[in-house]
Each structure stands twice: as structure tokens, then as C-alpha cells.
Structure 1
């Protein structure tokens, strides 16, 4: 019998800077994401981070989606 492939469920969350002054700050967005990752109760293993930019009347508005899975206990 061939070995069974390992699998897990990938989850995600998205985050953005608040609309208005500072919405275009990539460093601020990355700090927010890092804080969210560190606050996850059981810890997470990040698989990918995708940055998105929306052009608004106030300039670029950055957001990101983090794809992750929770480690096996």
C-alpha cells in the first residue's frame, strides 16, 4: 500500500492599515501582521503572505492576507 500523503487545513486572515493617514505604510502593516501572528494562542506556521494595494483618493491602501496552519499538538 503506498504511503498516505500528509495533509493539513490551510487557514487565512487578512489585515489592513486603518483608512486615512498612514494607510500606505507597509512597515506599519507588517508590524500589525507580526503582532497578530505572535498573539495566536496555539501558535501558527505561516505558509504565505500576500500583499495587496488598492489605489484610493488618499493614495495606496495596503492590506495583506496571511495563509497558515496550526501546528499539530
Structure 2
């Protein structure tokens, strides 16, 4: 099996709206799940969840790395 020297992955990032509720992990996970589902038959490689401190609590965001059928 040949292992490539490098590969490219597609990605997208989403965050909760700023302000009250920006710290809702369930809301972020629903948002990410809806977007992943809309991709169709994608192969998800990695999901990164981050937070940034704000006056309303941690502002949650996530980045999804994926491949679509036919990507090399």
C-alpha cells in the first residue's frame, strides 16, 4: 500500500452566534451535524471544537475536516 506524501482535506468552520447562548455545546453540535448531513456521503476525518472566552461564557466553534467521494 502506497502512503501519499501529503493529502488535501476539505473543511468548514461554524460557530454559535455571538452573545447570550454562545456557550451552548448542544447548539453547536446540532449545527455541525446538520452541515455534515447536508454534505451527503462525506468521509469525516476530524472534528475540532474550540472556545474563546467572552462576557457571555465560552464562544463555541467547530471545524470539520472531510473528503467527498472522488477526492484524491
Deviates more, 1:6-15 or 1:42-51: 6-15
Given the two structures, how large is their TM-score scaled by the length of structure 2?
0.82
Alignment-derived partner of residue 66 in structure 1 = 64
Equivalent residue for 2:51? 53
| Displacement of 1:59 | 1.1
**How far apart in 1 are the matches of 2:56 and 2:20?**
8
**What residue ranges of structure 2 are gaps of 5+ in the alignment?**
none
- The runs of at least 4 consecutive aligned structure 1 residues that moved more than 3 Å come to 3-8
Whole-angstrom distance in 2 between the partners of 1:8 and 1:54: 29
Q: Aligned in 2, Cα 1:64/1:17: closer, same or farther, shift over 3 Å?
A: same
The structure with more radius of gyration: 1
Per the TM alignment, residue 8 of structure 1 is displaced from its structure 2 partner at its CA by: 5.0
Q: How many residue pairs end up in the alignment? A: 70
Unaligned runs of 5+ in 1: none
